[in-house]
Structure 1
Amino acid sequence: EYQDTNASQYLLVKLLVGMRNQFTVVGDDDQSIYAWRGARPENLMQLKEDYPSLKVVMLEQNYRSTSRILKCANVLIANNPHVFEKQLWSEMGHGDEIRVIRCRNEEAECERVAMEILTEHLRTQRPYSDFAILYRGNYQAKLMELKLQHHQIPYRLSGGTSFFARQEVKDLMSYFRLLVNPDDDNAFLRVINVPRREIGSTTLEKLGNYATERKISMYAAAGEIGLGEHLDSRFTERLARFTRWMDGVRQQCAQNDPIAALRSMVMDIDYENWLRQNASSDKVAEARMGNVWFLIEALKNTLEKDEDGEMTIEEAIGKLVLRDMLERQQEEEEGAEGVQMMTLHASKGLEFPSVFILGVEEEILPHRSSIEADTIEEERRLAYVGITRARQNLTLTFAAKRKQYGEIIDCTPSRFLDELPPEDLIWEGQEDAPVEVKAARGNNALADIRAMLKR
């Protein structure tokens, strides 16, 4: 991967080669996407000057993608200057058109991708591992994970921390689990001292032993008078205070606005201050607190989308599969089937039958910093890498509006979409169809899924 070498590595090669001028390198200047860590695509170009007798062998046949996907990649990357001109070609057939889907906002975008994958999986029996979701930044994965979880679509996250594996999300989900099921000892043990309530390991050990003797959960045992025979009154009071408080939160969820009750719960435990005390910086703590509010917002959206208006907060939590999410994420078996999720940078060298690229918008792809620094060429190479990951099907999505720093902003489709050959694209979502038409389409799609499930 000679296009990924830095200046020092180039000099090292020159020293090793010496006067013999005998060496072989393999590289693709169109796949140089690591300038941010010192890579210089110019190293490939420099070879021509330093070694005039250089023999170039073009490896233009592609054994991965359809001709249409390669044509789109070729046309896009032609907008960059080249020292080595090449045209990828394939014997894999012409292939389907590339789909470009405009979505209302980022939530609709992730919902659409999840439903596309679910429908295709049910319709064709293709394994989930045939599908990949690529994105410019790890932050884009958070909402996508929620949608996949919501539809119980298995997935594997590469090169980043899963949203559901983050400490603050695990903490909050454990509180949720305890609200839904007070007998969940694992959830109880996770949150009883988060934040600190001066309940040590010795106290919890004695509580656990008492609960085992009584054949009840630790939560139930914490409120029993008989616990006083095993623990000092200071500690029994702390435990009882916690369970009384949790019972109060549960009651508020049942009687009042459950989302307001959950927000109050987070404020009551002063969780933000707890994060600040345990984070490396205020900025990190702020980002982690943002994940907490994001999760509560996701629950709110689930409740609001309930057409009958009868869904309880317990059912909403169950809908997000929060109860067993920790176990499922931790038990990721090597080679387990699932939709592959990763950044465009992490996808280099990989291939998938069906690829979805999220957020093909100005300031995302190309990235805002690249627009400001006028380094669009590398972003175009990144888009080229993403496109050529697809073997058979490629779908590009973008949002009309997106939430940013608490405000709703209008989004502009990426300039790279304009650079693709229009005859090879199918655009969806451009027309503002009436609500009734959209509802009919949605109902038809659901009917198709139900019919497939009955077979």
Structure 2
Amino acid sequence: IPFKLLSGLRFTETAHAKDVIAFLKILENPYEVISWMRILKMLENVGDVKAERIANEITSTEDPIGRFLSLNVKSDNIDMLKNVIYNSLGKGPSEQIRNFYEGFYQSILEYHYQDFRDREEDIERLIEMASFYNSTEEFLTELIISEAREAELDTNEDEGGKVTLTTVHQAKGLEWKIVFVIGVNPGDFPHFLALKDGSLDEEERLFYVAITRAKDMLYITHSVFSRSDYFRTGKIERDFVEDIPPYLVEYWRVR
């Protein structure tokens, strides 16, 4: 089916995605100076100049990660980063991202970004994406290929007769005759983090935005199984589909 992406900043161009990818890159290729510099600048009392000096120093050795783990640098959170790197060695990309986020990056995200909850959801979805890959190299390669495909689509001027793919956020203020809202499952939409925290107001607003984009026909897809089940904790559920009055809905079961 021909399609076009309605997108603003591509996912891997966002600051938090770049941070996560930099962490994966130093695990996969510890000689990559630029990625080391990006990670090192997250340390307290480490600026651009110091980060560049440390990155050049450790990548000039035969074992950059071992050299970093033995560094004696005055920074309150360097031990957290050392532990995260050490505990991520030899792990799959999904576990590596989760280690990085929960063991080091979460507090940085909350401090620097007012919209940290949205960015946190992005990282959880990145963890889910990475779970389908056996190696960090494979996952990073797929990210590069996907971004290249999206960039190619962005430069294609012939958009007639194509299905529009968009996030709910990017669809605000727009309308189409026919709209499909996909993946309306507890844990996916509403997101499991909102379910866990009991903060469903924003998810409900987003659902309202999604279903009001349709002028004539609205389809809502709901699967029996949700991939987010792997990452949810507890049994708290909220099903937006069940909130719709039955007389407004025609149910189809598709196998």
Q: TM-score category by the smaller chain?
A: 0.5 to 0.7
Higher relative contact order (CA 8 A, sep 6+): 1
Amino acid of the structure 2 residue aligned with 1:203: K
Looking at CA atoms only, which structure, 1 or 2, has the larger radius of gyration? Answer: 1
CA contact (8 A) 1:358 1:397 kept: yes
TM-aligned CA distance change 1:329 to 1:408, over 3 Å: same
Deviation of 1:157 after TM superposition, in Å, equals: 0.9
Question: Any residues of structure 2 matched to 1:326-341 within 5 Å, and which?
Answer: 334-335=155-156, 340-341=164-165
Partner of 2:194: none
Partner of 2:89: 251
Amino acid of the structure 1 residue aligned with 2:128: E
Partner of 1:358: 181
- Separation in structure 1 between the aligned mates of residue 184 and residue 147 of structure 2, nearest angstrom: 33
- Separation in structure 1 between the aligned mates of residue 10 and residue 123 of structure 2, nearest angstrom: 14
Could you report, residue by residue, the CA deviation over 1:67-106 in whole angstroms, capped at 9, with x for unpaired residues? Answer: xxxxxxxxxxxxxxxxxxxxxxxxxxxxxxxxxxxxxxxx
TM-aligned CA distance change 1:258 to 1:322, over 3 Å: closer
Q: Secondary structure at the match of 2:165?
A: strand
Could you report, residue by residue, the CA deviation over 1:385-426 in whole angstroms, capped at 9, with x for unpaired residues? Answer: 6x5xxxxxxx93411456698644443496699578x9xxxx
Pick one of 181, 186, 189 that aligns with 2:29. 181
TM-aligned CA distance change 1:174 to 1:357, over 3 Å: same
- Separation in structure 1 between the aligned mates of residue 158 and residue 87 of structure 2, nearest angstrom: 38
Deviation of 1:273 after TM superposition, in Å, equals: 1.6
- Separation in structure 1 between the aligned mates of residue 54 and residue 23 of structure 2, nearest angstrom: 19
- Separation in structure 2 between the aligned mates of residue 409 and residue 289 of structure 1, nearest angstrom: 20
Amino acid of the structure 1 residue aligned with 2:14: R
TM-score normalised to the size of structure 2? 0.56
Amino acid of the structure 2 residue aligned with 1:275: L
TM-score normalised to the size of structure 1? 0.36
Amino acid of the structure 2 residue aligned with 1:297: E
Deviation of 1:190 after TM superposition, in Å, equals: 2.1
Partner of 2:127: 296
CA contact (8 A) 1:174 1:191 kept: yes
Deviation of 1:380 after TM superposition, in Å, equals: 7.8
Q: Given the alignment of the two structures, is residue 399 of structure 1 paired with residue 249 of structure 2, yes or no?
A: no
Partner of 1:314: 137
Number of aligned pairs? 216
Q: Given the alignment of the two structures, is residue 193 of structure 1 paired with residue 16 of structure 2, yes or no?
A: no
TM-aligned CA distance change 1:180 to 1:380, over 3 Å: closer
Identity of aligned residues (%): 12
TM-aligned CA distance change 1:179 to 1:380, over 3 Å: closer
CA contact (8 A) 1:207 1:222 kept: no
Superposition RMSD on alpha carbons, in Å? Answer: 5.1
Amino acid of the structure 2 residue aligned with 1:299: A
In structure 1, stretches of 5+ residues that fail to align are 1-119, 121-127, 133-154, 212-217, 226-235, 304-310, 388-394, 434-455
- Separation in structure 1 between the aligned mates of residue 59 and residue 157 of structure 2, nearest angstrom: 37
